[in-house]
Structure 1
Amino acid sequence: MSTTHPPPNAPVLLSFANTDALVESLAEFVTKAQREAIDKKGKFTIALSGGSLPKLLRGLIGNTAVRWKNWHVYYVDERVVPLDDPDSNHRSCTEHLFSKVDIPREQIYTIDPNLLDDLDELADSYEKELIREFAQKDAARFPVFDLILLGMGPDGHTASLFPGHELLSEGDRWVAYLEDSPKPPPKRITFTYPVINHASRIAFVAAGAEKAETLRQILDHPETGLPAARVKPVFPGQLFWFSDDAATALVSYPKTPFKL
């Protein structure tokens, strides 16, 4: 009798008893990815989302294994607002993480606040930031981040890629804009799937009972096509889900014990 094995880049589901356990293990995971990247090429390229994610990175604060001087941080998506606006992902990440650690500020790559009135130019400007970092160093057509950390909304959106939106089919641009986000604020820029899916590691962080039904659809029925289910890393990239037991309560997809 033959046995069907999941593909080598199939999602790895990690479920923790509570948020504190998730935060601790997520910090270990990030520091391992960081260590391997720095040992290989002297720097760590990471892209972050907003939402609840910055708060769940608190395990990195005061962590002596983190080599902040080697971090280069980008944003998976950003709201088109001033950097100090309450809706800004950069502001959230700064308040919850960067203001509490010794990371060089010039290695945190924000949108250009002088281009907020021109979405096309704003997205193009941020794409050029990626080109400066990646285009001359990687043979791939798209940038290869060491790690991309994503959140997931109750509607299954991730980054600023929403159900039914035309950007779900964008296959050429690295960074795209939208001005009709169903979740305010309406104007945003976002990485496209090709950029996300070319990362060496991608990790969703989704906790709480309000995520349970959506997570069930994404992992048990990915054919439904929710935006988060469309994150499928290009081999040899790896995809992980860091969740708590409340979020995975309805999921049949097999859970994997956490280990480094």
Structure 2
Amino acid sequence: MAHQAPNATILNSFPDTDALVESLAFFIAKAQKDSIDKKGRFTVALSGGSLPKMLRGLIGNPSIKWDKWQVFYADERVVPLEDPDSNHLACTNLLFSKVPIPKDNIHVLDTSLLDDLEELSDAYEKELIREFAQKDAARFPVFDLILLGMGPDGHTASLFPGHELLAEEDRWIAYLEDSPKPPPKRITFTYPVINHAARVVFVAAGKEKVEMLKQVLDNPEAGLPASRVKPVHPGQLYWFVDDAASAAVQYPRSPFKL
């Protein structure tokens, strides 16, 4: 059994990225099976950055039931879908173009609204409402799995250090036009949405993550955005990292077995 700390954060560290990718794919497949067995669908949210390339273990995986997936983006850059900055484009190039997922199962921005951030975020929130509110009748959507990365400043999704959106408690989807990292205009899940997920997984690899990973895991009281991801009970928080990223971390590692 994996070690479970009092704050329900489970740290899995692997010798290299290949082992991480394989184990992450196994974890996702198991989460998918549990969700489909219970309710016939699997709701997933993805972020961009380095995350999409870490999902390559899903390609050609016979246990993945792509027709049961409903995919959303935990954050997205307010750009056309074919723009190089688009998270959707990255996920498409690295994953979705290589697997048989129905196009309608991937929920993208309404690109006719790119000039109106409020309308754009409201429209994406309505996409979530259509998927979750009628089926689950919850105050916030309860994703089966949200997959996140962590930036060099400790940001996650498009929730940045010191930004006013860190305090948002009501909206499901919020927008910002002053991202400290380009492009400046983005939409993002808020903490209530992230923290109501059944499972949240951070994925981080490489020695360039080592100092920030240590801060987030060993010094959560500093309040970095990634540290504020704390799923409410019975939700669970997992980190999938490689040993290069976790080299300085004191937080207890968990044994992960395929």
TM-score, normalised with respect to structure 1:
0.97
The aligned runs of 1:74-153 (5 Å cut-off) are: 74-153=72-151
1-structure distance, mates of 2:129, 2:40: 19
- Determine if the alignment matches structure 1 residue 28 to structure 2 residue 26: yes
2-structure distance, mates of 1:86, 1:184: 12
Determine what percentage of the aligned residue pairs are the same residue: 75
User: What 5-or-longer segments of structure 1 have no aligned partner?
Assistant: none
Name the residue aligned to 1:10: 8
2-structure distance, mates of 1:211, 1:125: 34
2-structure distance, mates of 1:217, 1:246: 15
Q: Select which of 203, 214, 217 maps to 2:215.
A: 217
The aligned runs of 1:235-246 (5 Å cut-off) are: 235-246=233-244
2-structure distance, mates of 1:155, 1:109: 28
Equivalent residue letter for 2:187:
I
Name the residue aligned to 1:250: 248
Q: Select which of 151, 155, 158 maps to 2:156.
A: 158
Q: 1:140 offset after TM fit, Å?
A: 2.5
2-structure distance, mates of 1:34, 1:138: 17
**Which runs of 4 or more aligned residues in structure 1 lie more than 2 Å from their structure 2 counterparts after TM superposition?**
none
1-structure distance, mates of 2:216, 2:89: 29
Equivalent residue letter for 1:180:
D
Alpha-carbon displacement from aligned partner over 1:14-61 (angstroms, at most 9, x marks no partner): 000000000000000000000000011111000000001000000000
Q: 1:257 offset after TM fit, Å?
A: 0.9
Equivalent residue letter for 1:76:
A
Alpha-carbon displacement from aligned partner over 1:207-227 (angstroms, at most 9, x marks no partner): 111111111011111000000
2-structure distance, mates of 1:218, 1:140: 30
SS of 1:190 mapped into structure 2? strand
1-structure distance, mates of 2:59, 2:121: 31
Equivalent residue letter for 2:5:
P
1-structure distance, mates of 2:156, 2:145: 15
1-structure distance, mates of 2:157, 2:187: 9
- Determine if the alignment matches structure 1 residue 45 to structure 2 residue 39: no
Alpha-carbon displacement from aligned partner over 1:138-187 (angstroms, at most 9, x marks no partner): 24210000000000001000000000000000000000000000000000
The aligned runs of 1:186-205 (5 Å cut-off) are: 186-205=184-203
The aligned runs of 1:64-79 (5 Å cut-off) are: 64-79=62-77
Q: 1:137 offset after TM fit, Å?
A: 1.9
Alpha-carbon displacement from aligned partner over 1:50-109 (angstroms, at most 9, x marks no partner): 001000000000000100010100000000000000000000000000000000000100
Name the residue aligned to 2:182: 184
2-structure distance, mates of 1:63, 1:34: 12
SS of 1:135 mapped into structure 2? helix
2-structure distance, mates of 1:259, 1:185: 39
Q: 1:6 offset after TM fit, Å?
A: 3.4
User: What 5-or-longer segments of structure 2 have no aligned partner?
Assistant: none
Q: Select which of 222, 229, 233 maps to 1:231.
A: 229
Let me know the Cα RMSD of the aligned residues. Answer: 0.9
Q: 1:202 offset after TM fit, Å?
A: 0.3
